[in-house]
Structure 1
């Protein structure tokens, strides 16, 4: 039987004796994964813009807990979970430089996935999706197809692994294929792994 102490909470230990675990066990494993040396090093290298006075939590801590809440909604931590107002303030203080850092973090994560994959063929799916918004959000627009206001982002995913490789946030009134050429060219020029001998791009976007 092996036993490990939870990095985020030394009062919690995980043992593997072959017995079934409860549904909360996934939260513990997620915490251990995010606190593993390789993964934590990725997040700690994100250089968020420092634009707050005397913050209680670093931006990377806020981002991690927000990510965990989205995935599992709750996690075993010694300290109290960060409140929703604090998370909202974190989101409102994100700058364009911070978003670029998160894009770079995603590229590094994708690269790690590629390194551990034996796939020499890369199949990229390019498509747009739509998100309705409420309230006064930045750069939203009315979409005549969905007949509401929101965002119309462009997304590139790996069809073989489901990994999201790149996202471009766009106003809701942006036509589905606008900017697709530059989006793809920018990705292909900076983010490809040398192991991919064959690259297939799939998409059904109209460009105007």
Structure 2
């Protein structure tokens, strides 16, 4: 029986994973998710296929903001407000390959730039990603487990009846 002492990530050769009981991080599992995303080409797909209809030159690009929010949600940071706590988080910085993350106001402006065209892009990305995954192995059956989630709204926000 062999034991893996140190594993180097293909997506970032500077990051090494070992199991010697050293410093711990509750978000370090993101590194393995990033590795999986890199192997299936998810990050490249987002950067190639996603952009809002906004021509302004921005420090935090649309695809980077989307990836940040995806990783935040995977890590149970569901609100864009959580970005302020994560701005200099070392695991998120390593996963996203940035010196600092987008702040809550930046993410809010990003969400406000989304329109019907971005929904079409999400659909296209979903189709391409499904093609990639199915090229590896097509499932015989697909099971959907749908649960409702309550997102509370405060005040008289537009769309509050949707929840």
Measured against the shorter chain, the TM-score band is 0.5 to 0.7
Q: In the comparison of the two structures, how many residue pairs are matched?
A: 139
TM-score by length of 2: 0.64
Q: CA deviation at 1:113?
A: 3.2
Is residue 40–residue 133 contact of structure 2 (8 Å, CA) maintained in 1?
Answer: no
The answer for unaligned runs of 5 or more in structure 1 is: 141-148, 153-208
- State the match for 2:161 in structure 1: 150
Q: Alignment RMSD, CA only?
A: 3.3
- 1:103 and 1:132, CA in 2 relative to 1: closer, same or farther beyond 3 A? farther
Higher relative contact order (CA 8 A, sep 6+): 2
1:46-57 to structure 2, matched below 5 A, reads 46-57=49-60
Q: CA deviation at 1:55?
A: 1.2
- State the match for 2:157 in structure 1: 136
TM-score by length of 1: 0.52
Structure 1 residue aligned with 2:114, among 94, 97, 104? 94
- State the match for 2:35 in structure 1: 32
Q: Which secondary structure state, in structure 1, belongs to the residue aligned with residue 119 of structure 2?
A: helix
Which has a greater percent of helix?
2
Q: CA deviation at 1:125?
A: 7.3
**Partners in 2 of 1:123 and 1:6 — Cα distance?**
31
Q: Which secondary structure state, in structure 2, belongs to the residue aligned with residue 150 of structure 1?
A: helix
Q: CA deviation at 1:26?
A: 0.3
The answer for unaligned runs of 5 or more in structure 2 is: 78-85
Which has a greater percent of strand?
1
- 1:133 and 1:104, CA in 2 relative to 1: closer, same or farther beyond 3 A? farther
Q: CA deviation at 1:83?
A: 0.4
